[in-house]
Amino acid sequence: MHASHAPEWRRILALYWLTSFVEGLGVSQIYAFLPNRLHELGLVEPEVGHLVGITGALFFVSGLPLVPLWGVWADKYSRKAVIIRSALVEAVVFGVIGASQQVWQLVAGMLLVGFQLGNTGVMMAAIRDVTPRHRLGLAMGVFAASSPLGFGAGPALGSFMIDQLRLTSGTVFVVAAVLSLAIALILAVGSAEVRPEVIPTGSTVRLAFGAVRGVMADPVVRWLFVVYGVVFVGRQMSSQYMSLLIHDVEHTPLSVAGSVGLVLGLATILGAALSPAGGWVADRIGFRRVLVAAIAGLAIAFGGLPVAPTVAWLAVAYSLAIACQAIIGAMVSGILATEVPAERRSATLNLIYLPLYAGGIAGPAIGASVFSAGLRAIFYVAAAFLVGGLVVAIAFARRPGRTLSPAEVGDRTRGAVGTTDPAAIDPLE
């Protein structure tokens, strides 16, 4: 895209930052207050525990087949339309969850989540295309902060509405729906279309699944996808049940928010603040070593959650977990950016969502089946999956790395600046 025709990058960055923030706010409220919403619909706590896992898996079921397609559709037709589509579907999902009178209606709403995914990579590509090279690191870093801040704000806002304003959790989701609808309107009126320099041609299905075949032919990618998939199984298994664990530790009923907003909000913001330290260390000792250390830290954090005697313990352990999760994602992106050949870089970074979606389906489903053994058993099983991921990561770290030229490394690193774990930016992405 020629600079004379490029949209003003600060405007694009501001609009997409706000879009990502509101999405993070709404999605974090699903994690935080879905148990409260199910309780409002008449379920008792054991039923809530099982259904939280099932609905968590539904996040990703309908979206998995579409993962390779959103980027192709955006580049072929319209990035702006793909991003607005996501905001509109979010509004529908949050609205249905908030307005549901029966459990089956809420479940139907959750099935729509798959059609809201696929916008983060498109926004990052657009920001990268319009931002001057000397401002790219700043722009991507600013954008990367938007979703963690939204994830911190969502539970805090919801807790205030439930416990201080005496509103229902259904109202919390309705407000999120209104905010998402407002974002869609703002994007429609205020954002410009950002077209890629090279428009892909040919069949969408051929382009999308051809990219999948090409990416999976790379042994480095296969190893990382296995590591990331196993890690994400454990991560999603535990994330779905954090709010129930908080209620259990402080002995509060599901009719109130309790300390959910404090623990999840504080942990998300503190964990995001701690995560850049991993990048600093990786620049000195290597991405692979830090990846192994972060997975070990995440396993320790997950193992510490079920033995937490106080809410303060939960906040500290979960902050460590969030920081390690973000570092893992950054290390995966860094390895892909420095060891994957140039012609496969963009496709690989987009398709990193595949193991996330697979783990996002398996993790909550396993959690729902383990719940009958007790709430804390879920976190022990999640920690065990992390130990398995650690073993695979150690084996990968011992394999010889691919050496690229300095020019390739520099170009690849610039493309990955500010890129963190897509699921740390948005656990549904």
367-393 pLDDT, tens digit each:
999 998 999 999 999 999 999 999 999
- Asked whether residue 429 is assigned to any structural domain, the reply reads no
Q: Is residue 31 part of a domain?
A: yes
Higher pLDDT: 93 or 143? It is 93
Does residue 300 sit within a domain?
A: yes
Least confident of 24-28, 289-293, 344-348, 410-414: 410-414
Q: Is 252 left (phi over 0), alpha (psi -120 to 50) or beta?
A: beta
Q: Tokens 């054991």 label which residue?
A: 46
Which residues form the domain of 293?
Answer: 3-192+201-422
Residue 272 pLDDT level (bands cut at 50, 70, 90): confident
Mean pLDDT of 179-201: 88
Check residue 403 and give its pLDDT: 52
Decide if pLDDT at 84 tops 50: yes
Confidence of residue 242 (pLDDT cuts 50, 70, 90): very high
Confidence of residue 402 (pLDDT cuts 50, 70, 90): low
Is the pLDDT at 66 greater than 80? The verdict is no
* Pure H helices in 41-145: 45-61, 67-76, 79-99, 103-111, 120-130, 136-144
Nearest in space to 273 (alpha carbons), one of 235, 230, 224, 327: 327
Q: In this structure, what token pair is assigned to residue 72?
A: 């192709």
Instruction: Determine what percent of the chain is predicted with pLDDT higher than 90.
Output: 43
> Quick check: 267 pLDDT over 90?
no
Q: Report the CATH number at residue 271.
A: 1.20.1250.20
Q: Is residue 427 part of a domain?
A: no
Q: What does the pLDDT read at residue 345?
A: 60
15-19, 35-39, 42-46: least confidently modelled range: 42-46
Cα(322)–Cα(314) distance, rounded to whole angstroms? 12
Work out the pLDDT band at 131, boundaries 50, 70, 90: confident
Total structural domains within the chain: 1
The Cα angle at residue 100 between residues 99 and 102, in degrees rounded to 5? 160
Question: Cα–Cα distance between 336 and 408 in angstroms, integer?
Answer: 12
Quick one: 166 exposed, middle or buried, by C-beta within 10 A (0-12, 13-18, 19+)?
exposed
Confidence of residue 415 (pLDDT cuts 50, 70, 90): very low
